[in-house]
Structure 1
């Protein structure tokens, strides 16, 4: 894989840390800015909604600009938003900075997904995506726990400043490793924006986007509310929450890495094996959550299965949207973040049910079941290899 892909992954690491870090910072933010924890929680929804809605919009605005300048601009805006957020004493202003950061993140990821696909051979998109998404998985392993510890020691503002600082080497990496302006031939051959948007009428593309959103919703439904399961159901100390999050992150890294080597030519294998195991795993985690060892093992397994299946489906989005070369990344980004926004909302509605803290785990199982019911009649489409997708274009 080109070294420039790993430079893009560094920026994704910084942005992934920002996306997930608020889970451990909300009480401090609420106390410092004199709002309720529930109000502070809207910062998470603002970020996810901005990511989902902003990806196609920002990618459309940036499609005629060179990839390197677009990526650099998004990183610098992301940096500025976090510096401004760290310095503010106003919650409404902090809310605005989260929306701006989400738009920059959405634009970066959309362009980065498209750029990554152009840096490798046509049959290596899955592996390129795996390298890019490894930035997100490493964020769950190191960035989020590190941010939580930094916030505990120095306050939530220090975590925002740390994310801003991470953007500096990411910006230098974009400048050093990403090719500059596109050639005239590439620009001339690029389809019109209307033609690229018209790809969203293709049932095959919409199907894999829906499935990717459902699987990611299941992932975030449980990931967001994992702490109450660890401390309440399993009766472990708060320090074990960090352990559980790291195990989930290590599993997600392993899942993305393995799937990246299979999702280009054998996506059907990943889907056929991973889907039923993922479906079984969420209810199993709910049933066995009282047993700490079983809980921690299953957290690792579910992280691996969730990201293996999710990254494979998102790779399918890139293949199915091959006729939309500048917008395909935004479609994949939108699918991921519709799931990231919807999953926690669905899970939150189960907390007041009889299932209590285990409700999100059952909700995740239900979301995966819905995905399987949608995919089963059309499994040949979902599991189509690269050549099959190209033939159908």
Structure 2
């Protein structure tokens, strides 16, 4: 395995920690600024929407630049945003720090996905992308629980100082281990990159990402409240339960990467359908502690097993113009995050209880199953797409646009 993949995973670890840590510390952050659960949830929604904007705007702005230098610049932005969060005296400045940090997120994973895929043979691209996204899963397995411990023991601001330090280490790792690729020919033309958005399958893939990932993330956003108020766990148990969830993410990401290398559409459909069932069952058994632990593992596993396949799918239908589309799909992940977090906050504010975000997540994920099924039925031979390799090797059918 190329050492550069580990460096990308290190960067992903820091960025993933920034994204997810608020969930474990939401009650503490809300208490500091005197805001409601739904208002605290906007620190997640605002971050996610900023990622979506940055994924397109920032990626488009740096298309002509050497990718390694871009990745390093994005990490500087990440460090500055987290420093602001660590010292923010008001909720508004806290949100501003989240937005600054978020602007690097989409471009980093979008460009990083292209770089990761370029380091390995074509048949191993999804697995290489999965390795990069392992940073996100490790941030949940180790980073979020440890960050929650740290925040509960020394105040939540100490967690953001720790994240800032991780950003510095990630910067050094990228500088030392990721090879300088220069200006790749496929990245030079912004017009060529934008042309990929003419593909109907690209838009279908972005929609599937929004719905499929948004369902899981919406269910997870308010998980600290569900664990303490519905399942009856003490707040001190929340970090350990996040470890359980993170283990599911880690395993699901790796398994999902291997499955996407073999049969992307087929495996993705099975995973999304299974995730829908898991969310429904979780909502029904949330009052049972043992069932909650099992549900957390399965939700994390099936939820993150979708990531490599979702990213690989949109890159495939983009043809040779993968950079901007890849960044757009990272934005789609975070639009899904924002959608799920917003709907979950609405259901809680409406008095439907802390299991309501899970029910909402199940509905959103099922919508992803429907869109993917319809998209697969249109994936038939076409003269316009004859130059592209089959997405699903088991079907040997060229994709349409």
TM-score, structure 1 as length reference: 0.92
**Partner SS for 1:25:** helix
Corresponding position: 1:259 with 2:256: yes
Match of 2:199 in 1: 202
Say whether the 8 Å CA contact 2:378–2:400 is kept in structure 1.
Answer: no
Corresponding position: 1:223 with 2:220: yes
What is the CA distance between 1:241 and its match in structure 2? 2.5
Moved more, 381-390 or 337-346: 381-390
Match of 1:121 in 2: 121
Moved more, 209-218 or 221-230: 221-230
Match of 1:286 in 2: 283
Gaps of 5+ in 2: 380-389
CA gap of 1:301–1:36, structure 2 versus 1, over 3 A, is: closer
**Partner SS for 1:64:** coil
Say whether the 8 Å CA contact 2:64–2:189 is kept in structure 1.
Answer: no
CA gap of 1:283–1:354, structure 2 versus 1, over 3 A, is: farther
Moved more, 161-170 or 26-35: 26-35
Aligned counterparts of 2:365 and 2:33: Cα–Cα separation in 1: 38
Aligned counterparts of 1:28 and 1:289: Cα–Cα separation in 2: 23
What is the CA distance between 1:208 and its match in structure 2? 1.2
Match of 2:77 in 1: 77
Corresponding position: 1:322 with 2:319: yes
**Partner SS for 1:350:** helix
What is the CA distance between 1:257 and its match in structure 2? 0.4
Moved more, 82-91 or 307-316: 82-91
Match of 2:360 in 1: 363
1:324-374 deviation per Cα after TM superposition (whole angstroms, max 9, x unaligned):
132132122111111111111112222245742211111111112211222
Aligned counterparts of 1:319 and 1:116: Cα–Cα separation in 2: 14
Corresponding position: 1:172 with 2:172: yes
CA RMSD of aligned residues (A): 2.3
Aligned counterparts of 1:190 and 1:150: Cα–Cα separation in 2: 41
Aligned residue pairs, count: 390
CA gap of 1:368–1:41, structure 2 versus 1, over 3 A, is: closer
Gaps of 5+ in 1: none
Match of 1:214 in 2: 211
What is the CA distance between 1:144 and its match in structure 2? 1.0
Match of 1:309 in 2: 306
**Partner SS for 1:356:** coil
Aligned counterparts of 1:309 and 1:181: Cα–Cα separation in 2: 29
Match of 1:22 in 2: 22
Aligned counterparts of 1:205 and 1:22: Cα–Cα separation in 2: 31
Aligned counterparts of 1:381 and 1:4: Cα–Cα separation in 2: 37
Match of 1:385 in 2: 392
Superposed, 1:62-101 pairs within 5 Å as 62-101=62-101
Given candidates 330, 334, 350, the residue that maps to 1:333 is 330
Say whether the 8 Å CA contact 2:45–2:337 is kept in structure 1.
Answer: no
Aligned counterparts of 1:377 and 1:320: Cα–Cα separation in 2: 16
Say whether the 8 Å CA contact 2:231–2:288 is kept in structure 1.
Answer: yes
Given candidates 332, 346, 361, the residue that maps to 1:349 is 346
CA gap of 1:389–1:202, structure 2 versus 1, over 3 A, is: farther
1:73-114 deviation per Cα after TM superposition (whole angstroms, max 9, x unaligned):
111221122223323424433322211111022222222112
What is the CA distance between 1:61 and its match in structure 2? 0.9
Aligned counterparts of 2:125 and 2:230: Cα–Cα separation in 1: 41
Say whether the 8 Å CA contact 2:211–2:336 is kept in structure 1.
Answer: yes
Match of 2:103 in 1: 103
Say whether the 8 Å CA contact 2:213–2:303 is kept in structure 1.
Answer: yes
Aligned counterparts of 1:318 and 1:389: Cα–Cα separation in 2: 17
